[in-house]
Amino acid sequence: APESSSEAEILALRVVAFIAQRDNVLHQLIVQTGMTPSTLRERTNDPEFLAGVVDFLLSNEQLLLEFCKLEKLAPARLLRIRQKLPGATIS
C-alpha cells in the first residue's frame, strides 16, 4: 500500500528517536546541519527537517541497515517513504 505523508512523518520521527539514542550519530547530525540539540527538538514537527533527518540516515548505509533491522523494515520501503516528505527527488 502506498504510504501517506502522515505515515512518512511518523516513521521519520522514529528515525529522529533512533539517532537521538546514539550520541555519536547525533553529534554527526549536529555537525552536518549546524543545529543545536534544542533546535533539533523544536523542529521535530517540521516535515522539511524530518526529510533531512531521513536523508542523513539514507546517506549512512551502516546506520540505515541498523535502523531497518530494528524497525523490521526493508531499506527500499524507507526510500519510498522518503518520497512522501518534502524535497524528495523524483525517481
pLDDT reading at 89 higher than 90: no
In a domain? residue 17: yes
Q: Are 80 and 88 in contact (CB under 8 A)?
A: no
Q: Which residue type occupies 21?
A: Q
Q: Are 27 and 79 in contact (CB under 8 A)?
A: no
In a domain? residue 51: yes
In a domain? residue 52: yes
Model pTM above 0.85: yes
pLDDT digits (tens, 9 = 90+) for 23-76: 999 999 999 888 888 888 899 999 999 999 999 999 999 999 999 999 999 999
Domain that holds residue 31: 5-82
Domain count, the chain: 1
pLDDT reading at 1 higher than 50: no
pLDDT reading at 2 higher than 60: no
SS3 helix, strand, coil % of the chain, rounded to 5?
A: 70, 0, 30
In a domain? residue 90: no
In a domain? residue 87: no
Residue 77 CB coordination number (10 Å): 13
Write phi, then psi, for 60 (nearest 5 degrees).
-120, 100
